[in-house]
Amino acid sequence: MSRQDLVTQAYQSFFGQAPQLTCHAPGRVNLIGEHTDYNGGFVFPAAINFGTDIAASSRDDRTVNVRALDFDNQLVSFSLDDIQFDNTHSWSNYIRGVLIALMKDYPQIKGADFVVSGNVPQGAGLSSSASFEIAILKCFASLNALPLDGIQAALKGQQAENEFVGCSCGIMDQLISAMGKKDQAMLLDCRSLEIKYSALPAGFNLFIVNSNVKRGLVDSEYNLRRQQCEEAAQVMELDSLRDADLTLLEANKAKMSDVAYLRARHVITENERTLAMCEALNKGETAKVSALMRASHMSMKNDFAITTSQIDELVEIIHQQLGEEGGVRMTGGGFGGCVVALVPDHLLTQVQQAVETQYQAKTGLKESIFICTAEQGAFA
């Protein structure tokens, strides 16, 4: 059964009628460009064939009733005129925050009954929260015939997460969920929001492995990393690290903390790698892609300090199989989660077998493997 069929049937069961519509928003994997987004830099994600599905109908009043299939069919109800933070059903705060952001421009929206379910692994760094936010926005935009485009939706999703949920995320996750394209990755300039698409090479797979080291962005050191980047930018008298280069960083090294220096060095070099990776993929330069993804991972490990021993082990296992024929790195906010690899068809079985036989033996954790495709965004 498809996930849209699942939420449709659940809606009929809970609300006693067929839903007015269904919506889907994908999760994402970032091929390169980590912690560059909130620094005004470049990222290179792809939307993937995992996401959030909603079946919904509008109401004549301002009540929102939502059933979450992934949380034991919990029912949450609230009024659009009295949206409060919910400490009991924390998942519903993404809905509440998104609707507050939406009503700043569209205060007239009506309530809705809906059922929601997602299959993006939570806490894995594949952006289950942004997928959830964009699906909600697509749902309410459709039910209320709002002229909301993908960039506007992404900004509202980010606003909800920053201001209501309490995570200082950048714009990448929401924008790729809204604007991804099938079989393509998106080079996003996070300052101008300029988008360029790049076809993923034929014969390669998006091979994603969840380390099953659990992490929580809001409670992790994610916000601390952002503060450290801001410290470095302030020392260099810049609005953001986007405008920094290594020459300027070295000239100001003595004025900033050692930690701020390392964080800035990661961001500056990661921006360079992201632009180079897009170009290398377009030219089919697989060995260069491999080197850039490896350098990205080592920078996240040594300069940004966001990998874990299990993640590093997983990257090594895959790198040993790929050599220069593909690339592998940690993806996502860090402190656990997933690695992403570009794996050619002829090495796919070999890489999968290596992970399955070595990772658990070396770490005591059992991995989850997802062989993904690049998919369309909710507003694309």
CATH match of 3-196 with 3.30.230.10: yes
The distance of Cα 44 from the centroid of its chain, to the nearest Å, equals 11
pLDDT in tens, 230-276: 999 999 999 999 999 999 999 999 999 999 999 999 999 999 999 99
Which pLDDT does position 218 carry in this prediction? 43
CA distance 217 to 221: 7
pLDDT in tens, 320-358: 999 999 999 999 888 888 999 999 999 999 999 999 999
Q: Is the pLDDT of residue 219 over 70?
A: no
Which pLDDT does position 217 carry in this prediction? 53
SS (H, E, C) 91-119: CHHHHHHHHHHHHCCCCCCCCEEEEEEEC
Amino acid at 47: A
pLDDT classification of 80: cutoffs 50, 70, 90:
very high
CA distance 332 to 35: 8
Residue 272's CB: how many other CB atoms inside 10 A? 15
Burial of 71 (0-12, 13-18, 19+ CB in 10 A): middle
> Residue 220 in 3-state DSSP?
coil
Q: Is the pLDDT of residue 125 over 70?
A: no
- Give CA separation, 209 vs 124, 189, 248, 313, 341, in Å: 9, 27, 37, 12, 8
Rg (CA), the chain: 21
SS (H, E, C) 15-60: HCCCCCEEEEEEEEEECCCCCCHHHCCEECEEEEEEEEEEEEEECC
Catalytic residue IDs: 173
Which pLDDT does position 266 carry in this prediction? 98
Taking each continuous run of H as one helix and of E as one strand, the counts in the chain are 11, 12
333 phi and psi angles, rounded to 5 deg: -65, -25
Domain extent listing, the chain? 3-196
Which pLDDT does position 232 carry in this prediction? 98
Amino acid at 178: A
pLDDT in tens, 129-168: 999 999 999 999 999 999 999 999 999 999 999 999 988 7
